[in-house]
Amino acid sequence: MYPEAIHSNDGDGLPVAVIGSGPVGLAAACHLLEREFTPLVVEAGDAVAAGVASWGHVRVFSPWRYNVDAAATRLLEGEGWSLPTPEDYPTGEELRRDYLIPLAETEALKDKIRLSARVISVRCADRGVEDDCERNRK
């Protein structure tokens, strides 16, 4: 599950798991990269932003300028991408095609996304997180 090429910056050799490759998951991965952590994006669907694809025909309720993340924009612009007309309202398919798929295909992210990978459990690790986990169980 954890390729040797993927490492976090804390020396334990494990990436930071990000569940889902939609707008929030990919934005989280970009923020992790900027902080020199290695993300591992796990997507249950067989394509990036598979959930968005299911409503691709629907126009979103906010314009492009509110649908793109700053860290993701910095990463994309470094590879020649430019924001579509900021005041236009994209459909889900346009959001995928013109933003999420190009983001997932960047050099920084393309090897850190696993498709058709369903998360079946998440547990607290033995790294001092148990206190928070115990508190959340009550």
Domain with residue 22: its CATH number is 3.50.50.60
Give the angle 114-35-101 at the CA atoms, nearest 5°: 35
CA atoms lying within 13 Å on the CB side of residue 6: 20
Are 75 and 103 within 8 A, CB to CB? yes
Q: 82 to each of 63, 77, 78, 95, 107, how far by Cα in Å?
A: 15, 6, 10, 13, 17
127 backbone dihedrals φ, ψ, rounded to 5°: -140, 35
Q: Is 26 among the domain residues? A: yes
Q: Give how many domains the chain has, as a whole number.
A: 1
Q: What is the pLDDT of residues 79-137, one digit of tens each?
A: 999 999 999 999 999 999 999 999 999 999 999 999 999 998 887 666 554 445 555 55
Q: Is 94 among the domain residues? A: yes
Q: What is the pLDDT of residues 11-63, one digit of tens each?
A: 566 789 999 999 999 999 999 999 999 999 999 999 999 999 999 999 999 99
Domain that holds residue 108: 16-118
Q: Is 123 among the domain residues? A: no
Per DSSP, the three-state class of 19 is: strand
Q: Is 124 among the domain residues? A: no
Q: Is 2 among the domain residues? A: no
Predicted local confidence at residue 137, as pLDDT: 53
